[in-house]
């Protein structure tokens, strides 16, 4: 028999066995109660009788054979089509979904499941990405049994696995259950593997627009142009590491990450960082976004790529073409500053004012003053339509010294005064 201090640890493993015979050298009431708790066929006490051993072993094999026949008949009707085809027939028995983080270990998981001593033998439906366990009878503590299965898998493999358990009460077809299990399994994208998820705890995904707004695009242009690694890290971690339930749909998050990577790609091309080393790292990061199983690792990989890229650019001598881009980024950042001058921009790129003016004119077909004025008028147009600020307040915020001058140049460029623009647009 099992020592008293080990009983609670060993009991769950013994209960998974279909037929139990208990043997003890201590014929006490406590040992008899343990045998009853395990629903043992018999409690053997030394000395043993050969006829009793033969009788109990034959009885155990007979019951085991009958039980296997019942289980086979119970679950044999379930097929793969039931997972994918709509049906009005409700399925009321437990269903588990198993998924390993590394698909290379899926054959190992199939072998593990085949040999695992389930107390109720499930039908195993294996797909190219996951394994479905369909049980043919009810049992208690589905979640606890899933945790035990996960625990024992950790002893035979270093590959993380997650299990989703169907725990919703309403009548559902096997196809509907399978869809719920897949959605529950998608939580691994946020919380990782080595966990058991319950379908009853999964709600609807939170919807959002995944693409960068104009403001966010400009923010990324500035961060990359300025080579601000700390700000880039902070932006990505704030954006992607603070999610709580209800979680956003994982596919939309992947889209948002690719939208950010598109800005990085433009920065690569502009900075002429297109050698094989960075092209491979870029493609690897893109693959991580599309196929990575965990959001945290995807973002960490993205941070690593962007920071290395920015550090290389920062340590590369600035060409005159790059100087124009840096100059424009500085203008975009400071155009609302009334005291902004061409000499300040020239100081930023370490070139003469006359040469910067010439570069801007050749690159953009406008002078420094015209570029600044265009940014200020664009800002003023946005505020005229989206706020109730007065004309003078908007002029002040946009970087104009006087409201009258603002109104005059606004009409020259837009064809209407600020007040007319606000009323008629």
148 token code pair = 């035990």
If you average pLDDT over residues 66-72, what whole number do you get?
52
Whether the pLDDT of residue 200 is over 50: the answer is: yes
Cα maximum dimension of the chain: 114
Which of 95 and 15 is assigned the larger pLDDT? 95
Residue 200 per-residue DSSP state: G
Q: Tens digit of pLDDT for each residue in 388-406? A: 999 999 999 999 999 999 9
Whether the pLDDT of residue 191 is over 80: the answer is: yes
Rounded Cα–Cα distance for residues 47 and 409 (Å)? 110
Residue 418 region, left (φ>0) first, then alpha (ψ -120 to 50), else beta?
alpha
Rounded Cα–Cα distance for residues 272 and 403 (Å)? 43
Q: Tens digit of pLDDT for each residue in 107-161? A: 999 999 999 988 888 999 999 999 999 998 888 889 999 999 999 999 999 999 9
Whether the pLDDT of residue 303 is over 60: the answer is: yes
Q: What is the domain class of 81-201 according to CATH? A: alpha beta
* Alpha-carbon distance values, 368 to 259, 326, 363 (Å): 31, 13, 11
Which distant-in-sequence residues (6+ apart) come within 8 Å of 134 by Cβ? Answer: 75, 78, 91, 93, 95, 122, 123, 124, 125, 174
If you average pLDDT over residues 260-273, what whole number do you get?
90
Q: What is the pLDDT of residue 86?
A: 86
Q: Which of 186, 189, 218 is nearest to 199 (CA)?
A: 186
Query: Does the model's pTM come out above 0.75?
Result: no
Banded pLDDT at 73 (limits 50, 70, 90): very low
Percent of the chain past pLDDT 70, that is, above it, reads 88
Q: Which residue carries 């893109």 as its tokens?
A: 286
- The residue extents of the domains of the chain are 4-75, 81-201, 214-314, 320-424
Q: Is 98 helix (H, G, I), strand (E, B) or coil?
A: strand
Which distant-in-sequence residues (6+ apart) come within 8 Å of 11 by Cβ? Answer: 2, 37, 38
Q: Which residue carries 């599309």 as its tokens?
A: 290
Which distant-in-sequence residues (6+ apart) come within 8 Å of 292 by Cβ? Answer: 298, 301
Residue 293 per-residue DSSP state: S
If you average pLDDT over residues 156-171, what whole number do you get?
89
Rounded Cα–Cα distance for residues 425 and 415 (Å)? 12
Q: Which of 17, 136, 139 is nearest to 73 (CA)?
A: 136
Whether the pLDDT of residue 342 is over 90: the answer is: yes
| Domain covering 4-75: architecture | 3-Layer(aba) Sandwich (3.40)
Which of 13-27, 320-334, 355-369, 376-390 is modeled with the greatest confidence?
376-390
| DSSP-assigned beta bridge partners for residue 44 | 23
Q: Tens digit of pLDDT for each residue in 8-67? A: 656 665 555 557 777 777 777 777 777 676 777 777 777 777 777 777 777 776 666 555
Which distant-in-sequence residues (6+ apart) come within 8 Å of 44 by Cβ? Answer: 21, 22, 23, 24, 52, 53, 56
Q: Is 188 exposed, middle or buried (0-12, 13-18, 19+ CB in 10 A)?
A: buried
For residues 40, 41, 45, 51, the Cα torsion angle rounded to the nearest 10 degrees is -160
Q: Which residue carries 């020259």 as its tokens?
A: 412
The CATH number assigned to the domain with range 320-424 reads 1.10.10.60
Banded pLDDT at 74 (limits 50, 70, 90): very low
Q: What is the pLDDT of residue 52?
A: 72
Instruction: Indicate if 81-201 has the same CATH topology as 4-75.
Output: no
Which of 22-36, 211-225, 267-281 is modeled with the greatest confidence?
211-225
Reply yes or no: is the peptide bond before residue 100 cis, omega within 30 of 0: no
The per-residue pLDDT of the chain, averaged, comes to 86
Rounded Cα–Cα distance for residues 322 and 375 (Å)? 21
């Amino acid at each position: 028999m099992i020592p008293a201090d080990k009983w609670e640890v060993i009991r769950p493993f013994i209960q998974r066995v279909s037929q139990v015979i208990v043997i003890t050298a201590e014929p006490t009431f406590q040992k008899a109660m343990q045998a009853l708790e395990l629903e043992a066929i018999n409690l053997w006490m030394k000395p043993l009788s050969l006829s009793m051993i033969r009788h109990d072993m034959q009885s155990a094999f007979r019951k085991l054979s009958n039980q296997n026949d019942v289980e086979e008949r119970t679950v044999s009707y379930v097929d793969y089509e039931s997972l994918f085809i709509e049906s009005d027939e409700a399925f009321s028995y437990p269903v588990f979904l198993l998924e390993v983080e590394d698909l290379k270990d899926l054959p190992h998981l199939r072998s593990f499941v085949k040999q695992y001593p389930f107390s109720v033998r499930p039908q195993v439906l294996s797909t190219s990405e996951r394994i479905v366990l369909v049980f043919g009878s009810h049992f208690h503590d589905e979640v606890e049994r899933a945790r035990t299965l996960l625990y024992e898998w950790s002893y035979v493999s270093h590959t993380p696995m997650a299990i989703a358990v169907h725990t919703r009460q309403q009548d559902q077809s096997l196809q509907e259950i399978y869809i719920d299990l897949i959605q529950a399994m998608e939580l691994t994208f946020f919380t990782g593997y080595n966990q058991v998820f319950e379908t009853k705890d999964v709600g609807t995904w939170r919807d959002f627009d995944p693409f960068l707004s104009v403001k966010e695009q400009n923010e990324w242009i500035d961060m990359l142009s300025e080579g601000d690694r700390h700000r880039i890290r902070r932006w990505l971690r704030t954006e992607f590491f603070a999610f709580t339930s209800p979680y956003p749909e994982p596919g939309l998050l992947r889209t948002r990450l690719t939208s950010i990577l598109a800005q990085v790609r433009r920065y690569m091309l502009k900075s002429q960082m297109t050698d094989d080393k960075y092209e491979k790292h870029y493609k690897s990061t893109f693959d991580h976004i599309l196929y990575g199983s965990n959001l945290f690792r995807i973002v960490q990989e993205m941070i690593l790529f962007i920071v290395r890229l920015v550090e290389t650019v920062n340590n590369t001598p600035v060409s005159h073409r790059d100087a124009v881009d840096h100059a424009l980024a500085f203008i975009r950042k400071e155009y609302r500053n009334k005291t902004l001058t061409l000499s300040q921009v020239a100081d930023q790129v370490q070139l003469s004012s006359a040469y910067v003016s010439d570069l801007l004119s050749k690159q953009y077909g406008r002078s420094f003053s015209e570029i600044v004025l265009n940014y200020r008028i664009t800002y003023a147009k946005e505020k005229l339509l989206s706020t109730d600020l007065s004309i003078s307040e908007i002029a002040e915020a946009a970087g104009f010294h006087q409201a009258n001058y603002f109104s005059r140049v606004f009409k020259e460029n837009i064809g209407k005064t600020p007040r007319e623009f606000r009323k008629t647009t």
